[in-house]
């Protein structure tokens, strides 16, 4: 079981309210991603759930039990840190066994669980090495191993892949997703990388300045962002936001069009290509459109427009409309 419920949870550091008060329910077995820009309070929220920070007010329930004032170890949660936070003086085996040792588990059972976790994470050959002798990816696996042996009610991941290089990140992302599939345990994952959020999550929580902007499945956020912030944050490259006469023509204060929903060739808009990035599969163009401003366009790879070319554009997909407060119409 691993249902986590936050009710009017607030966190202030002195005068500064980092989390002004939020409610959130995480169902058992869900993979929930907290996403948002730096300083939005996502890591603080995770640390509140972990018990590493005290809540200023509000209630945190874990499996129906009030855990607000429980110390971290009594919450039945396991955490994987950004810096891995391995114990450098212990071997991999001792690192993974540490939570079991602290729980006073019999040595035979400790060994059995460590061997099993090592097998799942391909660490069997490294059990007698120290963290300093491992690569970044292997260290991250050890940190995950240390978390899974406890068989926790939920896993908490605090930007676990941000110290890895791009190729390794993709691999580890898949491994964590597969781990979730096989364990079916609740996972809460903090990241500022919206690609990680989109690819891994059952449910994304978009945070901004300590407030929840929107909660939903990845495609729900992509297709129906509740406000300009979510519209701009989810999707890569960012959604084009257009104000002024063009927006007014659609009965909105601001309209949003995703770069992949603009076609090159024929259409009502005309502009000059500023930057053209040809990736093979896609071509990303920055086009200065007359009377509208610069639009980002994601065109098929075969579009060969270059810097200085004059091209015509049309929107070919969903158009998002927002009012003056930035809320979706």
Partner 1 sequence: MARAVSRRHKVVVTLAAWSVALIIFFPVLWMILTSFKTETSAVASPPQLFTADWTLENYAEVWARSDYPRFFGNSVVISVGSTLLGLAIAIPAAWAMAFVPGKRTKDLLMWMLSTKMMPAVAVMIPVYLIFLRTGLIDTRIGLVIALMLMNLPIIIWMLYTYFKEIPAEILEAARMDGAGLWGEIVHVLTPMALPGIASTMLLNIILAWNEAFWTIVLTTTNAAPLSAFIASFSAPQGLFYAKLSAASAMAILPILILGWFSQKQLVRGLTFGAVK
Q: Which residues bind partner 1 (CB under 8 A)?
A: 50, 52, 71-73, 77-79, 81-83, 85-89, 98-99, 102-103, 146, 150
**Beta carbon of residue 218, minimum distance to partner 1 (angstroms, whole number):** 28
Alpha-carbon distance of 121 to 2, in angstroms, equals 23
**Beta carbon of residue 142, minimum distance to partner 1 (angstroms, whole number):** 11
Query: Which lies closer to partner 1 via its Cβ, residue 154 or residue 228?
Result: 154
CA distances 131 to 49, 84, 104, 161, 264, Å, are 27, 10, 24, 17, 52
Does the N-terminal peptide bond of residue 237 adopt cis geometry, omega within 30 degrees of 0? yes
Write down the H helix ranges in the chain. Answer: 42-50, 92-102, 107-120, 136-148, 166-183, 194-200, 218-223, 228-233, 245-249
Nearest Cα residue to 26 out of 206, 225, 202: 202
Query: Which lies closer to partner 1 via its Cβ, residue 81 or residue 269?
Result: 81
**Beta carbon of residue 25, minimum distance to partner 1 (angstroms, whole number):** 23
Query: Which lies closer to partner 1 via its Cβ, residue 152 or residue 216?
Result: 152
**CB neighbours of 13 closer than 8 A, spacing ≥ 6?**
none
Query: Which lies closer to partner 1 via its Cβ, residue 176 or residue 285?
Result: 176
E-strand ranges in the chain read 4-13, 16-26, 31-35, 57-62, 65-66, 77-80, 154-158, 186-191, 203-208, 211-216, 240-243, 254-257, 262-278, 282-289, 293-300, 310-315, 319-322
Query: Which lies closer to partner 1 via its Cβ, residue 79 or residue 313?
Result: 79
**Beta carbon of residue 158, minimum distance to partner 1 (angstroms, whole number):** 9
**Beta carbon of residue 209, minimum distance to partner 1 (angstroms, whole number):** 25
**Beta carbon of residue 175, minimum distance to partner 1 (angstroms, whole number):** 20
Q: How far is CA 173 from the centre of its chain?
A: 11
Query: Which lies closer to partner 1 via its Cβ, residue 77 or residue 292?
Result: 77
**Beta carbon of residue 86, minimum distance to partner 1 (angstroms, whole number):** 8
Query: Which lies closer to partner 1 via its Cβ, residue 62 or residue 228?
Result: 62
Alpha-carbon distance of 141 to 155, in angstroms, equals 14
């Amino acid at each position: 079981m691993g249902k986590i419920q936050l009710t009017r949870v607030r966190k202030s550091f002195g005068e500064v309210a980092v989390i002004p008060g939020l409610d959130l329910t995480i169902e058992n077995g869900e993979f929930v991603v907290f996403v948002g820009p730096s300083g939005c309070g996502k890591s603080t929220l995770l640390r509140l759930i972990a018990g590493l920070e005290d809540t200023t007010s509000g209630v945190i329930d874990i499996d129906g039990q009030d855990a607000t004032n429980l110390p971290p170890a009594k919450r039945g949660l396991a955490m994987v840190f950004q810096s891995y936070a391995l114990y450098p003086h212990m071997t991999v085996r001792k690192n993974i066994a540490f939570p079991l040792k602290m729980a006073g588990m019999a040595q035979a059972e400790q060994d059995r669980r460590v061997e099993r976790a090592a097998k799942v994470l391909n660490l069997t050959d490294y059990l007698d090495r120290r963290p300093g002798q491992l690569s970044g990816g292997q260290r991250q696996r050890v940190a995950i191993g240390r978390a899974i042996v406890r068989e926790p009610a939920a896993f908490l991941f605090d930007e676990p892949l941000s110290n890895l290089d791009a190729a390794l990140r993709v691999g580890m992302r898949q491994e964590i997703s597969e781990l979730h599939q096989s364990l079916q345990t609740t996972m809460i994952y903090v990241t500022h990388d919206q690609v990680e959020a989109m690819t891994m999550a059952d449910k994304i929580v978009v945070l901004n300045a300590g407030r929840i902007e929107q909660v939903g499945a990845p495609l729900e956020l992509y297709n129906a962002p509740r406000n300009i912030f979510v519209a701009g944050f989810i999707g890569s490259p960012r959604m084009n936001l257009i104000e002024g006469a063009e927006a007014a023509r659609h009965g909105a204060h601001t309209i949003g069009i995703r770069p992949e929903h603009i076609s090159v060739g024929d259409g009502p808009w005309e502009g000059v290509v500023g930057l053209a990035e040809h990736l093979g599969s896609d071509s990303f163009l920055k086009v200065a459109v007359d009377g509208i401003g610069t639009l980002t366009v994601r065109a098929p790879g075969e579009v060969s427009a270059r810097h200085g070319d004059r091209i015509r554009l049309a929107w070919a997909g969903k158009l998002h409309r927002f009012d003056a407060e930035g809320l979706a119409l």
